[in-house]
């Protein structure tokens, strides 16, 4: 009989073969570093049922899968993220293309999460303007243990390119995410030299009811890096 973890990795490798984009993230908290892989698709390219089949196999509740599917049908893109040991699953919907940057408070991402402690949660990411806006920058600094990352992003990002900022609305979380991919910032110059040559996509931070205070960075990845991540 096939091991469930091995079966999950086989299913994920099949999904990887169809994906449009990948990213790798590292979330740092007092409990350590959690590494995650996001497998993403433009919605018009994906088999939504292939994603929901995996989520069902993983054990995500049917009601949460239905909520994700309802939003996915009206999204620009969708994603599936897992951590290295497959104890955490997250489904995402991406709504940036339908949001005017002046529309403060609009939902730009939704995250449907099965967490390592067995709890389930839906997070809504609401657009709050630009990271450079004083209120946003202060919120990010106040909710980050690595404000130096923010300082270096601001030093390296061209002033005419956006650093889109969102806050997560959920009773179990006080956090933020800065989408900095448009600025084409090298991750090595912001984070650490081993990431030289990789594009920095997002920075995030805050306080989570499950893992406490955390900081997360996201970098671009390719097909081979995704396959390597899933190799165990």
Q: Would you say residue 17 has pLDDT above 80? A: yes
Mean pLDDT for the chain? 92
Q: What residues contact residue 4 under an 8 Å CB cut-off, 6+ apart?
A: none
Tell me the pLDDT tens digit for each residue of 135-187. 999 999 999 999 999 999 999 999 999 999 999 977 777 899 999 999 999 99
Domain boundaries, the chain: 4-230
Q: What is the pLDDT of residue 2?
A: 53
Tell me the pLDDT tens digit for each residue of 43-56. 999 999 999 999 99
Cα 70 to Cα 27, 88, 101, 110, distances in angstroms: 28, 22, 24, 12
Helix (H) or strand (E) holding 79: strand 77-83
Sign of the dihedral through C-alpha 139, 163, 176, 83: negative
Q: What is the pLDDT of residue 1?
A: 47
The owner of tokens 């390119």 is 161
DSSP state of 198: P
């Amino acid at each position: 009989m096939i091991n469930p973890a091995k079966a999950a990795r086989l299913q994920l490798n099949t999904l990887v073969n169809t994906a449009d984009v990948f990213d790798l993230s590292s979330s740092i908290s007092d409990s350590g570093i959690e590494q995650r892989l996001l497998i993403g698709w433009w919605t018009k390219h994906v088999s939504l049922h292939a994603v929901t089949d995996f989520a069902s196999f993983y054990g995500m509740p049917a009601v949460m899968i239905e909520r994700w599917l309802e939003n996915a049908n009206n999204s620009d893109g969708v994603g599936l993220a897992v951590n290295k040991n497959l104890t955490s699953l997250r489904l995402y919907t991406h709504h940036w293309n339908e949001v005017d940057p002046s529309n403060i408070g609009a939902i730009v991402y939704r995250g449907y999460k099965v967490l390592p402690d067995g709890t389930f949660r839906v997070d809504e990411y609401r657009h709050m303007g630009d990271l450079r806006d004083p209120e946003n920058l202060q919120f990010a600094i106040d909710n980050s243990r690595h404000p130096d990352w923010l300082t270096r992003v601001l030093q390296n990002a061209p002033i005419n390119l956006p650093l889109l900022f969102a806050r997560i609305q959920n009773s179990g979380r006080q956090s933020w995410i800065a989408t900095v991919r448009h600025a084409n910032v090298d991750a090595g110059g912001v984070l650490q030299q081993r990431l030289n040559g990789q594009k920095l996509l997002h920075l995030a931070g805050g306080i989570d009811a499950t893992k406490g205070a955390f900081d997360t960075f996201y970098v671009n990845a390719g097909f081979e890096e995704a396959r390597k991540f899933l190799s165990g």
